[in-house]
Chains A and B, each alone.
Chain A
């Protein structure tokens, strides 16, 4: 499973949304119904899955699905 699919799987699991909703443009809060605690949990799940450490200063910029994909790729976590 590629990085983007894995990210999508985590989002579907944590936010209880349909996979089709998880487009690169989708905002976690605006489009996927997340609240501030959900976004913290999501970042923790990404850290867990990819063995990454995402500082809060970076995490607060990860507001869309695409931003997460780009960030993880940039950091070299492309599976």
Chain B
């Protein structure tokens, strides 16, 4: 059976670089850092006191106050992003067959802030004071459910959870659901809201976070020799994915084609990537094979590029292993986490949106804060300045704790 094609027809962003899609893209190209000192709680005494928070999101513009109170912040972001994505796509779910429209939006961690708040209530006031909304607020699948309620989307609905590869897997599963005919339209992406005491403390204890507290805007520096960890980001991104003919029939804008998915596991360590990048390389190769394309057809790789010493080294090796040394040197490789911070379970969706926009506009956003080359990271990372160049196809890598690797392949229309 021939597989159906999938178009990217809508984008919705709630990010540290802005909430409006145009603003988000402008800042991505300009090399704007969304990082700063943590505002959401007093981080005095924490080894990491910086994050890339969402500061321009007006939740009241998207969700009535009563509803807001029964949702975690991660759901606020997800609903906001989904609403904007639907609007951007011009799709009116009510005028189509909503039984064939679904939602795969996950969260790497879910409602951590809710868990934290309710645990304090449990300790201070006892078990009978815990909110009846605690469980529905914190579970990682609730955003997908809420988005479906909001838009009355009655098709496939779930939340894929794979840490920092959550959104990429969600988008990949949406691709498959449309390709094989389970759905015609899928809202896919991820959301995360973990800038809270437990979130920062937990990742800091792993030594995963940058501690460049005196210079937050320089802290996320993927592939730079002096990188010292990631900067936690927050927010959500949702893509509207649509069966090709469905999109064309209604005259929809098409940003790009989602043409391939590769998924693997390192099967190596809970949190460390395998040293030689073998697992991530196979994910990239699988994505190429899935799309029926050769390595030399790819112009841009939006890397996972977290700014941790281990990831960026292993991912560089993985890209060389997947593309071959010669092709790897011709690639433009970028980590937009240098600007957005690391949105964990939302990262793959933010970066998929960037891929779609890069293909449409022929511009590759920069890897900012790249100052000192690292001998272990010796490819073209599009340092500090965006590059205007037509792009035929690009890959988006997401690598999650647990060894989950997902690579998505987008092509220009």
Which A residues form the contact surface with B (CB < 8 A)?
15-16, 33, 37, 40-41, 44, 47-48
Q: How far is the CB of A1 from chain B (nearest CB, A)?
A: 22
CB of B251 closer than 8 Å to a CB of A:
no
Q: Compute how far the CA of A33 lies from the CA of B64 in the bound complex, rounded to whole angstroms.
A: 13
Q: How many A-B residue pairs have CB under 8 A?
A: 21
Closest-CB distance, B184 to chain A (whole angstroms): 32
Where chain A touches its partner, the secondary structure class is helix
Find chain B residues with CB under 8 A from A40 CB: 132
Partner of A16, one of B66, B125, B131: B66
* CB proximity of B235 to chain A, nearest CB, Å: 25
CB-contact partner of B131 in A15, A41, A47, under 8 A:
A41
Q: Is the CB of B64 within 8 A of A16?
A: yes
Q: How far is the CB of B150 from chain A (nearest CB, A)?
A: 16
Cβ-based interface call for B65 (8 A)? yes
In the complex, chain A residues whose CB is within 8 Å of the CB of B129:
44, 48
How many Å lie between the Cα of A48 and that of B70 in the bound state?
Answer: 19
Determine the distance from Cα of A44 to Cα of B118 in the docked complex, in whole angstroms.
14
Q: Is the CB of B65 within 8 A of A16?
A: yes
Q: Does B197 contact A (CB under 8 A)?
A: no
- CB pair B133–A41 under 8 Å, yes or no, is yes
Residues of chain A within 8 A (CB-CB) of B64 are 16
- Residues A37 and B128 in contact, CB atoms below 8 Å apart: no
- A44 / chain B contacts, CB cutoff of 8 Å: 128-129, 131-132
Interface set, chain B 62-85, CB cutoff 8 A to A: 64-66, 69-70
Task: Determine whether B93 belongs to the interface, using a CB cutoff of 8 Å to chain A.
Answer: no
Interface pair B133/A16, CB less than 8 Å apart: no
Query: CA of A61 to CA of B26 in the docked complex: distance in angstroms?
Result: 57
B128: chain A residues within 8 A (beta carbon): 44, 47
B402 adjacent to chain A (CB < 8 Å): no
Residue B136 is within 8 A (CB to CB) of chain A in the complex? yes
Further 7 A-B residue pairs, CB within 8 A, beyond A16-B65, A37-B136: A37-B70, A37-B133, A40-B132, A44-B128, A47-B128, A48-B125, A48-B129
Q: Which residues on A sit within 8 Å (CB–CB) of B69?
A: 16
Kindly supply a per-residue 1/0 record for chain B positions 122-136, scoring 1 wherever the CB is within 8 Å of any chain A CB and 0 otherwise.
000100110111001
Chain B residues with Cβ under 8 A from A16's Cβ? 64-66, 69
Provide the bound-state CA to CA distance between A32 and B106, in Å: 32
Lowest 10 CB-CB distances: which A-B pairs, in order?
Answer: A16-B66, A40-B132, A37-B132, A16-B65, A41-B132, A37-B133, A41-B131, A44-B129, A15-B66, A48-B129
A15-B128 Cα distance, complex, nearest whole Å: 20
User: Cβ of B65: which chain A residues have Cβ within 8 Å of it?
Assistant: 16
Residue in A closest to B133 when the chains form the complex, CB atoms: A37
Task: Look across to chain B and name the residue whose beta carbon is closest to the beta carbon of A36.
Answer: B132
CA distance A37 to B66 in the complex (A): 13
Across the interface, which residues of B come within 8 angstroms of A15, CB to CB? 66
* Nearest chain B residue, comparing its CB with the CB of A15: B66
Task: Give B102-143 as 1s and 0s: 1 = Cβ < 8 Å from A's Cβ atoms.
Answer: 000000000000000000000001001101110010000000
